[in-house]
């Protein structure tokens, strides 16, 4: 068994599990990378560490500085965890209406939390967070401009986010022995899909890269990337825009919350994978792709976060 000097050494290198219960016979093999097994419970530990380390190297983040970030939960938790470990003050700006568990998780790591009233009418909150984060990003922008010794991580446009997930992609290649026919991942700010796509396409140009978004998204990427009206370049676009222009993503498909939740319940109950709702969306779509590809092929997806942050949602209390 591995012994490490720091909890930060346990970020990444997550296990990969073959899905045997939810995948029927006669379709491609489906593998799920257990990102919820990162120390703070999501794949955002990877980007938080990469962004913080890079900012330190570039001299943008120094001892005594505060770190701020806009997040619907997972990035906020990850930054709170790593920031506290490294001795930084952290303040997280979160849209109102997120589950109390997410707030408690962030507070557990000792960070300040500010809940911001949603401008957007979007009901999307369970898969990922891009568009509902705009109001919170505006707060960060104002603070960054007005407060000295403050570093805004800017996950939605920070190149270190993509860099972190190029490493995720390389881990996938290693775990799969270089054989991957398709990769499926939900899009929040796009770092996972774009980073993994870059790594996979470099080795396997024929690999199909498929993005997933909530069917309820107000500005669907699947209908052509469009900027959110009224939002400036300082708070929108970023990685998603670059990814959609790169041509690496073959398709972005919509998955309903109901299909995502049903599949995430099956993953917990049948496969023993204690994962959240976007994991359900990812696997729902991965199974569809596996049917299309047929036996002998391999589809890989990720389980982005842990079920622990959704436990109080009504649908899990019955």
Ligand X SMILES: Cc1ncc(COP(=O)(O)O)c(C=O)c1O
**Rounded distance, CA 189 to CA 167, Å?**
17
Least distance (Å) from ligand X to the CB of residue 65?
Answer: 24
Q: Which is nearer to ligand X, 103 or 193 (CB)?
A: 193
Q: Which is nearer to ligand X, 95 or 191 (CB)?
A: 191
Cβ burial, residue 32 (10 Å; 0-12/13-18/19+): buried
Interstrand relation of 16-18 and 29-33 (parallel, antiparallel or unpaired): antiparallel
Beta bridge partners of 1: none
Least distance (Å) from ligand X to the CB of residue 282?
Answer: 8
Q: Which is nearer to ligand X, 19 or 128 (CB)?
A: 128
Q: Residues 33, 44, 201, 297: which is the catalytic one?
A: 44
The residues near 157 (Cβ < 8 Å, ≥ 6 apart) are 237, 238, 239
Q: Which is nearer to ligand X, 29 or 45 (CB)?
A: 45
Q: How far apart are the first and last CA of the chain?
A: 39
Which stretches within the chain are classed as H helix? Answer: 44-57, 74-86, 100-108, 134-146, 159-175, 191-203, 238-246, 257-271, 277-293
Q: Which is nearer to ligand X, 27 or 215 (CB)?
A: 215
Specify the residue for token string 């990003």: 137
**Rounded distance, CA 308 to CA 227, Å?**
32
Annotated active-site residue 125? The verdict is: no
Cβ burial, residue 49 (10 Å; 0-12/13-18/19+): buried
Q: Which is nearer to ligand X, 40 or 66 (CB)?
A: 40
Q: Which is nearer to ligand X, 193 or 217 (CB)?
A: 193
Residue number of the CB closest to ligand X reads 188
Q: Are 168 and 197 in contact (CB under 8 A)?
A: no
Least distance (Å) from ligand X to the CB of residue 148?
Answer: 29
Two tokens at 48? 């938080």
Nearest C-alpha neighbor of 262 from the set 252, 254, 250, 270: 270
Residue 225 φ then ψ, to 5°: -65, 125
Neighbours of 258 (CB within 10 A): 11
Least distance (Å) from ligand X to the CB of residue 138?
Answer: 18
Binding site for ligand X (CB under 6 A): 74, 128-129, 186-193, 276, 278, 304-305
Q: Are 25 and 264 in contact (CB under 8 A)?
A: no
**Rounded distance, CA 229 to CA 234, Å?**
13
| Catalytic annotation, residues | 44
């Amino acid at each position: 068994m591995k012994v490490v000097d720091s909890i930060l050494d346990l970020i990444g290198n997550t296990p990969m599990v073959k899905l045997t219960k939810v995948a029927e016979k006669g379709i491609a093999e489906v593998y799920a990378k257990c990102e919820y097994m990162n120390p703070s419970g999501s794949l955002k530990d990877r980007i938080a560490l990469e962004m913080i380390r890079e900012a330190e190297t570039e001299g943008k983040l120094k001892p005594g500085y505060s770190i701020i970030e806009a997040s619907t939960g997972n990035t906020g938790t990850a930054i709170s965890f790593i920031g506290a470990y490294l001795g930084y003050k952290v303040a997280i700006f979160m849209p109102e209406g997120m589950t109390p568990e997410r707030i408690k998780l962030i507070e557990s790591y000792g960070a300040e939390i500010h809940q911001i009233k949603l401008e957007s009418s979007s009901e999307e909150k369970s898969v990922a967070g891009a568009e509902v984060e705009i109001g919170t990003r505006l707060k960060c922008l104002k603070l960054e401009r007005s407060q000295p010794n403050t570093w805004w991580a800017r996950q939605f446009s920070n190149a270190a986010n993509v860099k972190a997930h190029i490493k995720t992609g390389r881990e996938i290649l290693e775990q799969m022995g270089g054989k991957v026919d398709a990769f499926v991942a939900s899009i929040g700010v796009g770092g996972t899909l774009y980073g993994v796509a870059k790594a996979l396409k470099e080795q396997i140009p024929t690999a199909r890269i498929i993005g997933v978004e909530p069917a309820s998204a107000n500005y669907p990427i699947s209908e052509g990337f469009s900027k959110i009206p009224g939002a400036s370049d300082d708070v929108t676009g970023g990685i998603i825009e670059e990814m959609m222009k790169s041509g690496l993503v073959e398709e972005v498909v919509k998955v309903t919350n109901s299909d995502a939740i049903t599949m995430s319940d099956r993953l917990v109950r049948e496969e023993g994978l204690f994962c959240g709702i976007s994991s359900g969306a990812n696997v729902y779509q991965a199974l569809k792709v596996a049917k299309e590809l047929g036996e002998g092929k391999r589809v890989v997806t990720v389980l982005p976060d842990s079920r622990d942050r959704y436990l109080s949602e009504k649908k899990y209390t019955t």
